[in-house]
Chains A and B, each alone.
Chain A
Amino acid sequence: MQSFRLIRPRTAQEAVSAAAQGGAASRFIAGGTTLYDLMKLNIERPGQVIDITGIGELHRIETAGEELRFGALAPMSAVATDAVVSRDHPVLAEALAKAASQQLRNMASVGGNLLQRTRCPYFRNGAGGVYPCNKREPGSGCAAIGGLDRSQAVLGTSEACTAVSPGDWPVALVAVDAGIELLGPNGPRSMPVDALYRLPGETPQHEFTLAPGEMITAITVPRRNAGRLSTYHKIRDRESYAFALASAAVVLELEGDRIAQARVALGGVATRPWRAPAAEQMLAGQRLTPELALAAGHAAFRDARAGHHNAFKLELGARTVADALIIAAERRP
């Protein structure tokens, strides 16, 4: 790890100003569970690190209004166990609780977690020149394509990159049409969480749509989009403390015994948090049966493309969606 300048601003405005001065080599650090990790791997090499955890205004959790509002620096564990979130919004609480470990959830912030970088082993192992990676060294090639691709994405891939977007929380937020508030050199703005993520295309090094020097200050969730008939279902290579092989965030709104609206998003299988409109359309207006749930799951993967070792993710992903739909529906009072 090379040395860096450490700055510890007290306000969001100070942080953004410091970032503007620091230029491209500047990084914000909150929990550090991604950035410091990648610095130790010599993959992130910032010249300036701005520790934003001292900015008190960004820690607040507000759950009283029609919109839930989470300050970007609220720890994942705090939001997961917030009384309102854990009681009324299981898809959010479960996505947080099934991520990483309690140690890491205490460190990681809900804003920083949106910017978690891929766990593709070819990306993480590359420093030192072993494996080419277009994300790490643009233009160097992708070792995962044609390589050991069991964990790689089957949705949203390109000829340049198949790296999975590893998060759980962003998947849940995309499912509930959450938004983010940003502060940058040109002032504040907001946008849907969904708009934060890019597809890899030919430039997999560009993962997010943040402008230079821009920071996430809050996450907003329309309360009615994340109701009690919801779940985040996650299948891993072990029971806990692992990244998803496949996951599904599901929220159901029922009218009588029929689904008025279903919200479905996928994790562990795509290059970005992945909304599944084909599945949602198939479910709308229908009575949920195990057969329909599975059909909706398969619909979610209609456009998927498998590599050598990850074809199982199409079936696993579909069944994960099906189980999530059934779990969510069973939460009917």
Chain B
Amino acid sequence: MSRNDDISAKGDPEDRNRASPQGDSTDPLSLNRRATLGIGAAMASSALSVVPLRAQSPQVTALPEGTTAIRTLVNGRPVAVTIDVRTSLLDLLRETLALTGAKKGCDHGQCGACTVHLDGRRVASCLTLAAKADGREVLTIEGLSHGDALHPMQQAFIDHDALQCGYCTPGQIMAAVACVAEGNATSRERIREYMSGSICRCGAYVGIVAAIEDAASRMGRG
């Protein structure tokens, strides 16, 4: 909540499949109905656009069939959006919020490339219904560093060349940060076990383990 930079700055201004931030609210989870509906209208190009949401009165509670309205904090920024109930948290982040750091590698919780933090715990965003993010906080790789200052884990991944193609890397780093925070970075063996939910097909595991050991000491944990 400390930052109020506009999420839309990351996306294309022409993009209609995008949510807007609620920059005028100090508590994203107490957004009023009107603001929430406004986001629904922003999804104009989708199948949902057949319902003119903005024209409805604030008292109308019915959303289009198959949709649900959620309010969530993403990387400290409030987001209110009406979504297809089927949408995964990963697809919400990537396709609607333009946060493409989290990657789709399997869509079934089998690779870890989509790992983000939900209320501070690492989860597979591909197997998380986006609706479950309602009222909760999401942290993605985009929210890990502040400006040019990298998180110690990011710097350690560079220093130990803990990546090759880089596709699994955002998920690895989010998993690694959580691994340290959980207290599971106390030995190489434990790091390996607790990082096994993130597949690196390039085979950068040696570097990943070294990076986590290094970052854990800098993070004052482990």
Contact = CB atoms under 8 A, between A and B. Distances in A.
State if A and B touch, Cβ cutoff 8 Å. Answer: yes
Interface stretch (B122-130, B140-148, B159-167): B122-130
Interface stretch (A102-110, A139-147, A261-269): A102-110
Contacts of A102: 122, 175, 178-179, 182, 184, 194, 197
A57 interface: no
A32 B88 CA distance: 11
Chain A interface size, as a band, is 20 to 34
Given A3-B66, A51-B131, A51-B132, A103 B124 contact: yes
Interface stretch (B16-24, B28-36, B107-115): B107-115
A239 B196 contact: yes
A75 B120 CA distance: 14
B132 A106 contact: no
Given A106-B123, A241-B196, A101 B112 contact: yes
Contact of A103 (B108, B115, B184): B115
A33 B85 contact: no
Given A1-B86, A6-B68, A107 B124 contact: yes
B48 to A, nearest CB: 12
Interface string A108-122: 000000000000000
Contacts of B66: 3-4
A37 interface: yes
A75 B109 CA distance: 16
Contacts, number: 88
A310 to B, nearest CB: 22
A104 B124 contact: yes
Contacts of A75: 121
A49 B66 CA distance: 11
Chain B interface size, as a band, is 20 to 34
B43 to A, nearest CB: 15
A36 interface: yes
A240 B193 contact: yes
Interface string A67-78: 000000001010
Contacts of A1: 86
A96 B209 CA distance: 23
A104 B131 contact: no
B84 interface: yes
A75 to B, nearest CB: 8
A32 B127 contact: yes
A164 interface: no
B12 interface: no
A104 B112 CA distance: 9
Given A102-B178, A106-B122, A6 B131 contact: yes
Contacts of B197: 100-104, 241
Interface string B150-164: 000000000000000
Chain A CB count within 10 A is highest, among B68, B88, B109, for B109
Contact of A36 (B129, B134, B193, B198): B129
Given A3-B86, A37-B108, A51 B128 contact: no
Contacts of A247: none
B65 interface: yes
Contacts of B175: 102-103
Contacts of B84: 3
B26 to A, nearest CB: 24
A127 to B, nearest CB: 13
A32 B108 contact: no
Contact of B108 (A29, A40, A53, A240): A40
B196 A240 contact: yes
Interface string A163-194: 00000000000000000000000000000000
Interface of A: 1, 3-6, 8, 29, 32-33, 36-37, 39-41, 49, 51, 53, 75, 77, 81, 100-104, 106-107, 239-241
Interface of B: 65-66, 68, 84-86, 88, 107-109, 112, 115, 118, 121-124, 127-129, 131-132, 134, 175, 178-179, 182, 184, 192-194, 196-198
9 contacts: A1-B86, A5-B85, A6-B131, A53-B132, A101-B196, A102-B194, A103-B175, A104-B109, A106-B122
Given A106-B118, A107-B128, 18 more contacts: A3-B65, A3-B85, A3-B86, A8-B134, A32-B127, A32-B129, A36-B127, A37-B108, A37-B127, A40-B107, A51-B129, A81-B182, A103-B109, A103-B115, A103-B197, A107-B124, A240-B196, A241-B197
